[in-house]
């Protein structure tokens, strides 16, 4: 089924570990983005990309890296996880302002 | 900078009551889109509606209705005859509408948790 696929769904990391959250879409959307959701904070934009090879920072980029080597994939990297990065992460893609398709989320806990 | 304010953190109603969720936004863009999303306890984000800033007509979809007032920068959401299944967190969001048609950043409010009880 077409859509945005996020993996893993759940992850527990130790402080200082690194990991990559995967996001893939098969709708040929140019725009992709990563959000984190924290209680009482809504969803906040971490990084976004308007096309392959182009990325930019959002509202809360510190501690995260992204790259966009293909239209389909937009991985989010945590180089050295911190407890403050415990959150639910959502990936989204869009072909235009018409609509955004969200993944099902990744629940990350950093201990 | 864009900003979306949902002042109601939590609302509790009894089933069959009507409830209105408030959304106030700020933007310098002349054209923009407004959205509402539902997040049920299962956690996924469910798209409910998108409204273009050019279109100030109110919209009704079943028990859901939306009131867009550009003069007050508000995009309120009303659920008529609420049901237990409406219990969720509801997010209002805003994005710039570019004349190129390309997507732009989506700015979310902090959400309103709606609890509907029997």
Give me the sign of the Cα torsion angle A107, B1, B2, B7: positive
A96 part of contact set with chain B, CB < 8 Å: yes
CB contacts, 8 Å: A106 with chain B:
none
A98 pLDDT exceeds 80?
Answer: no
Dihedral through CA A81, CA B38, CA B3, CA B57, nearest 10? 160
pLDDT in tens, A9-54: 999 999 999 999 999 999 999 999 999 999 888 999 999 999 999 9
pLDDT band of residue A1 (cuts 50, 70, 90) is low
A7 pLDDT exceeds 70?
Answer: yes
Per-residue pLDDT of chain B (118 residues; tens, 9 = 90+): 889 999 999 999 999 999 999 999 999 988 899 999 999 999 999 999 999 888 888 888 899 999 999 999 999 999 999 999 999 999 999 998 776 666 678 999 999 999 999 9
User: C-alpha distances in angstroms, A21 versus A76, B24, B83?
Assistant: 5, 33, 36
Q: And the tokens for A45? A: 């934009």
Q: Do B105 and A40 touch (CB under 8 A)?
A: no
Q: Do B103 and A35 touch (CB under 8 A)?
A: no
Residues 26-85 of B with CB under 8 A from A: 33, 35, 43-45, 47, 50
pLDDT of residue A24: 97
CB contacts, 8 Å: A48 with chain B:
105
Question: What does the alpha-carbon distance between residue B102 and residue A80 come to, in Å, rounded to a whole number?
Answer: 33
Q: What is the mean pLDDT of residues A93-110?
A: 88
Interface test with A, best of B103, B110, B111, B112 (most A CBs within 10 A): B103
For chain A, give the mean pLDDT: 94
């Amino acid at each position: 089924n077409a859509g945005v696929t996020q993996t893993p769904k759940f992850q527990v990391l130790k402080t200082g570990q690194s990991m990559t959250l995967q996001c893939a879409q098969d709708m040929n959307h140019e725009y992709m983005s990563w959000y984190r959701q924290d209680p009482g904070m809504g969803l906040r934009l971490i990084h976004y990309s308007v096309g392959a090879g182009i990325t930019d920072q959002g509202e809360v980029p510190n501690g995260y890296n992204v790259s966009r080597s293909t239209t389909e994939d937009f991985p989010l990297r945590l180089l050295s996880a911190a407890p403050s990065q415990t959150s639910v992460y959502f990936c989204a893609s869009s072909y235009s302002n018409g609509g955004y398709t969200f993944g099902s989320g990744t629940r990350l806990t950093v201990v | 900078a864009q900003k979306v304010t949902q002042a109601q953190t939590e609302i509790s109603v009894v089933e069959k009551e009507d409830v209105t969720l408030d959304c106030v936004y700020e933007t310098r863009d002349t054209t923009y889109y407004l959205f509402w999303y539902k997040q049920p306890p299962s956690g996924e984000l469910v798209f409910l509606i998108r409204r273009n800033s050019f279109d100030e007509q109110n919209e009704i979809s079943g028990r859901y209705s939306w009131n867009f007032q550009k003069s007050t920068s508000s995009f309120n959401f009303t659920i008529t005859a609420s049901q237990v299944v409406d219990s969720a967190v509801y997010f209002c969001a805003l994005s710039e509408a570019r004349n190129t048609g390309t997507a732009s950043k989506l700015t979310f409010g902090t959400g309103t948790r709606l609890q509907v009880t029997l």
